[in-house]
Structure 1
Amino acid sequence: MKYIDQIDLKDKRVFIRVDFNVPLDKEGNVTSDKRVKASIPTIKYALEKGAKLIIASHLGRPKGKRVAEMSLKPVAKVLSGLLQREIAFLDDCVGEAVEQATGKMKEGDIILLENLRFHPGEDKNDAEFAKQLAALCDVYIDDAFAVSHRAAASNSAITDFVKTCAAGFLLKNEVEYFKKAMVNPAHPLVAIIGGAKVSDKIGLLENLIEKVDKILIGGGMAFTFLRAAGYETGKSLCEEEMLDTARKIVSKAKQKNVQFLLPVDAVIAQSTTAEAEAKVCGVKEIPKDMIGLDIGPATISVFSEALKGVKTIIWNGPMGMFELAAFSKGTFELAQAVADSGALSIIGGGDTDTAIKKAGMSAKMSYISTGGGAFLEWLEGKTLPGIAALER
């Protein structure tokens, strides 16, 4: 795979596939520019090297139709503000008018194309649509890791029709940190896995057991593992149909000599509300009418101890219902323990990112992945079409 800083961009029309899938309010204003900011280093670098920039993204799921509320037009204003430069917005991403506009570009010009998903060919990874996109440029740069797990015309098929293809800095970071976590990690390597369901993380756990030294389990999914071990878990989230799978995962970890740590206590309540009275109890004593909503203080100690002296930490999924203050301590204190460990820490998955931010710990993590689903599928050992296309 080539990176943007390894190719000549001078006077070239450079097509950059970004992820500007930003939230909009009812008036069509961008409510968070985080994703736009994430691609600024790549965009600025291309401009410094004398490129003519064609920027493309999707927004929402318009299903191949033009949906006014999903236009990228509001993003042009945000991008213009961040770059302090004029952005030309085109109301389509292919066609004669687009070809004419991109054909007349001068060095330093920036065009933002309309939503790629307004065309059905985008999500279908259609070769004809990809060919039309490819005709606009001399160089293709992919900087949209968050959609790498979906084969689309703008991140997969397009690479068949553009001679020079490379990854932008955001994608480069994802690739480099993934290699540090899963390809050539420094050991001991620990995975912290949380979230609600075991069923969402089977592939992940099975792949991690082959690579890591320790796995720490929290979140709602911990109660399925505890039930599988023979404990009563009250009204806590439990996937009865996953009990056998949970036992097999624990057994496989044992065979591979992987330390598999489950909570020893929990913060419990009668309901998932801010008003509910929170109590702490051992996992063997959860009453029938109570719900486990966070890991308890003893578990925080055990998990924090397990992180001492480790070299690499991968974290996916919160330890409890961190959105409510009474059930946030497990996630927040573990975030502090990760920061204190001095290990290379790689955080991935939407909720984990939100939780770390809420804990005020974002700056203390080595890397926070920009792609929830993509990060998860990569950790599962799956091939990501957007990455594979650049490796061809």
Structure 2
Amino acid sequence: MAKFNTIDDFDVNGKTVLMRIDINSPVDPNSGIILDDTRMKIHAETIKELSLKGAKTVLLAHQSRPGKNDFTTFKQHAEVLSKAVGMDVKYVDSIFSSTAKEAILALEPGQILLLENVRFYSEEQLKRSPEEEATSVLVKSLSPLIDYFINDAFAAAHRSQTSLVGFTTVVPSAAGRVMEKELTVIGNALENVQHPCVFALGGMKADDSIMVTENVLENGTADYVLVSGLVANIFIWAAGYDIKSTNENFIEARGYLDMVDKCRDLIKRFPGKIIYPQDVAVSVLGDRADVTIENIPDASIFDIGRQSLIEYSKIIREAKTIFANGPAGVFEDPKFAIGTEDIINAIASSEGFSIIGGGHIAAACVNLGYGDKMDHISSGGGASINMLAGKPLAAVQALEASAELFNNKE
């Protein structure tokens, strides 16, 4: 049973509801055009529900961060979000100025207002406790104007930032539908895991995958962990194979040199549980060359090999629960997309319950036409990884504390 409130616990009719969402979207650096409206569509359900229930809905979100070429205002986001929701989403180009406050106070039941990109506000970058964040200018400025705070930004739930946790100690707070679904589906799958359970972990964030590997093998959740991407290269090196200086230097440049000893220890602690490729695909003059791990040339490893894919696919198809996060290789290049595509295909054709982490592998699933073949595609890579690694999510802890605080006052 959830320890946090949901929308069902509040009567929002005629009330002003501040909702944190995550509509951080890819933006063309030259034209400024939003390239993908997936996250807008994900949050549309919660936004529309609040509007139809008569709430005066105020939306708070972020886009990129200062200094990046996709750091921009929310003018275009409001237009795209209006289409996704099927309702007019008003936009004000400030966060807590008198103009923003007047726009909030002027809302009628059912209307929706999107405030400016919250990362234009410097305190948003700080990571503090909910009690400390409650003293921020943002919270002090907006909390007197709202009745409820709803957090629907699961993708950012692992962060303890002002807009994510600051309001929870000041006003009654709840999880939105996206947050509620993510926590329920992933939580239930982890608590009631069906065996054999397989984790397919790839991508460039090797420390995350190694952290998850250790957690799920220690607690008995996983029967096998299939590694690919950069994490596979580290495990191959840790297992005593010569991956050559090009790949060793890349691992060191990414700051993962200390992970080699960690992986060596995991291989010893969990024999036969961590499956790393027995062949890999390297880039030789721009072309794909599959080689065994005993014969890796001094060239970049860009994918797992075809023979390893046969083994990986067999294990996946026999699994009853599958968690997947991160692509198997440089899937943007068609020559090195085979690993990612074959793993996704194996998951889609498996009868096991499948959960796909957010980010690149989620996009690859959709692009390959397998989106509806997966039981759950998460909206948040970082947050889902933290859940799989057994780490608490700061924003969820804040919602739980808020429920205890305000429910006890009633």
Report matched runs for 1:301-340 at 5 Å.
Answer: 301-340=310-349
Structure 1 residue 11 and structure 2 residue 14: aligned? yes
- Aligned match of 1:226: 236
Q: Which amino acid aligns with 1:73?
A: K
- Aligned match of 1:208: 216
Structure 1 residue 167 and structure 2 residue 184: aligned? no
Shift of 1:391: 1.0
Which of 99, 110, 113 is equivalent to 1:111? 113
Q: Hey, what's the Cα distance between the residues in 1 that align with 2:46 and 2:292?
A: 50
Q: Deviations over 1:76-99 (max 9, x none)?
A: 111223334333222222143333
Q: Deviations over 1:228-267 (max 9, x none)?
A: 222233456234543322110112223xxx6221112222
Q: Which amino acid aligns with 1:259?
A: K
Q: Which amino acid aligns with 2:39?
A: R
Which moved further from structure 2: 105-114 or 189-198?
189-198
Structure 1 residue 2 and structure 2 residue 5: aligned? yes
**Partner SS for 2:247:** coil
Which of 36, 39, 44 is equivalent to 2:43? 39
Structure 1 residue 242 and structure 2 residue 259: aligned? yes
CA 1:187–1:228 in structure 2 vs 1: closer, same or farther (change >3 Å)?
A: same
**Partner SS for 1:289:** coil
Q: Which amino acid aligns with 1:193?
A: L
Which of 179, 186, 195 is equivalent to 2:187? 179
Report matched runs for 1:1-392 at 5 Å.
Answer: 1-25=4-28, 26-62=30-66, 70-124=72-126, 126-127=133-134, 128=136, 129-163=138-172, 165-196=173-204, 198-210=206-218, 211-234=221-244, 237-238=247-248, 239=251, 241-254=258-271, 259-271=273-285, 273=286, 276=287, 278-286=288-296, 288-392=297-401
Q: Which amino acid aligns with 2:276?
A: L
- Cα contact 1:300–1:333 (8 A) shared by 2: yes
Shift of 1:41: 0.4
CA 1:298–1:155 in structure 2 vs 1: closer, same or farther (change >3 Å)?
A: same
Q: Which amino acid aligns with 1:336?
A: N
Unaligned runs of 5+ in 2: 252-256, 402-410
Which moved further from structure 2: 360-369 or 20-29?
20-29
Aligned length: 380
Which moved further from structure 2: 47-56 or 261-270?
261-270
Q: Deviations over 1:328-384 (max 9, x none)?
A: 112111111111111111111422223323433222111111112222222222221
Q: Deviations over 1:254-300 (max 9, x none)?
A: 3xxx62211122223325x3xx2x232322233x3344322222211
Which moved further from structure 2: 170-179 or 27-36?
27-36
- Cα contact 2:21–2:151 (8 A) shared by 1: yes
**Partner SS for 1:173:** helix
CA 1:212–1:73 in structure 2 vs 1: closer, same or farther (change >3 Å)?
A: same
- Aligned match of 2:254: none
**Partner SS for 1:390:** helix
- Cα contact 1:215–1:261 (8 A) shared by 2: yes
- Cα contact 1:223–1:236 (8 A) shared by 2: no
Q: What is the identity percentage for the equivalent residue pairs of Structure 1 and Structure 2?
A: 34
- Aligned match of 2:406: none
Shift of 1:62: 3.2
Q: Which amino acid aligns with 1:185?
A: V
Shift of 1:68: 11
Q: Hey, what's the Cα distance between the residues in 1 that align with 2:45 and 2:205?
A: 36
Q: Give the number of the structure whose residues are more often helix, by fraction.
A: 2
Q: Deviations over 1:29-88 (max 9, x none)?
A: 32221111110000111112111111111122138xxx9962112111112233343332
Q: Which amino acid aligns with 1:167?
A: A
Q: Deviations over 1:192-226 (max 9, x none)?
A: 11124644533222112122111111123222222
Unaligned runs of 5+ in 1: none
CA 1:190–1:18 in structure 2 vs 1: closer, same or farther (change >3 Å)?
A: same
**Partner SS for 1:201:** helix
**Partner SS for 1:108:** coil
CA 1:3–1:329 in structure 2 vs 1: closer, same or farther (change >3 Å)?
A: same
CA 1:196–1:147 in structure 2 vs 1: closer, same or farther (change >3 Å)?
A: closer
- Aligned match of 2:407: none
Q: Hey, what's the Cα distance between the residues in 2 that align with 1:72 and 1:290?
A: 43
CA 1:305–1:87 in structure 2 vs 1: closer, same or farther (change >3 Å)?
A: closer
Q: Hey, what's the Cα distance between the residues in 2 that align with 1:47 and 1:222?
A: 47
TM-score (norm 2): 0.86
Q: Which amino acid aligns with 1:350?
A: G
- Cα contact 2:243–2:298 (8 A) shared by 1: no
Shift of 1:388: 0.9
